[in-house]
Amino acid sequence: MTRKELKEYLDFKSEEFNNTAFIEDDPISIPHLFTKKEDIESIGFIMATISWGQRKSIIRNGHRLVEIMGHSPFEFIMNASENDLKSLKFVHRTFNAEDLRFFILGLRSIYDRTTNGLEDAFNRGESMAERIFGFREWMLEVPHDKRSEKHISNPLSGSASKRINMYLRWMVRDDNKGVDFGIWKSIPTADLYIPLDVHTGNVARKLGLIKRKANDWKALEELMTNVRKFDPLDPCKYDYALFGLGVTGEI
């Protein structure tokens, strides 16, 4: 495939998979239960964090989270008592009730100190890696078990930060397709990074978009350099193409 043909192919596949039918079987379906910005971004961050494993299990546990929070995530985060937090019962793979308590307190701390909520917390730094690291540092300021730190990735240590990049796609992209929310305006769509994991990485390598073997931040930079040549203003739209091609087994 020539570069022109590859761009046309990926553009077509991005359009094919980026539609509201995508929502039902994806973790993004949980924040789509809400209309208030603070509800969407807060439950969205926790959902993105637990988005590994079988999607049915992720979504089922997402509904469990909504029930725990009384169907009002932001209100629960801001007002849950110490007893409420101590009595939490939740597990998704290695993310447990202690991790959930830490996340709630971390998010509460950010809301207490910002004007635009979680959006402000991702505006500390120039590069996207620095923005993610700045958010991570802010979250880690609240008391927490050391083990909980693994749930907030650090791109400055080489992590591809797949789940945080997916979350940022949810919050920032605004293409009127009905999937991503586009409720954050201070981060340019052009700055977003594709959520890189095993599946998107394998497809990207088959298409010649990545040569590096490891799915780390360096591989992600390589991928973004290539897809930005196809669309410098909205390179993250190609996440739909790579993900969809991986899920369907077309590539």
Q: For residue 247, is pLDDT > 90?
A: no
pLDDT of residue 249: 84
Instruction: Please determine, for residue 251, whether its predicted confidence score (pLDDT) is greater than 90.
Output: no
| pLDDT, position 248 | 86
Q: How confident is the model at residue 55 (pLDDT cuts 50, 70, 90)?
A: very high
Residue-level pLDDT at 43: 98
Q: Could you give phi then psi for residue 116, rounded to 5 degrees?
A: -110, 30
Tokens of 100: 């959930």
Share of the chain above pLDDT 90, in %: 96
Span 24-43, average pLDDT: 98
Helices (H) and strands (E) in the chain, counts: 12, 2
Rounded distance, CA 49 to CA 140, Å? Answer: 15
Q: Is 222 helix (H, G, I), strand (E, B) or coil?
A: helix
Give me the pLDDT at residue 1, please: 86
Residues 63-105: pLDDT tens digits?
999 999 999 999 999 999 999 999 999 999 999 999 999 999 9
Query: What would the mean pLDDT of 158-168 be, rounded to a whole number?
Result: 98
Whether the predicted pLDDT of 210 surpasses 90: yes
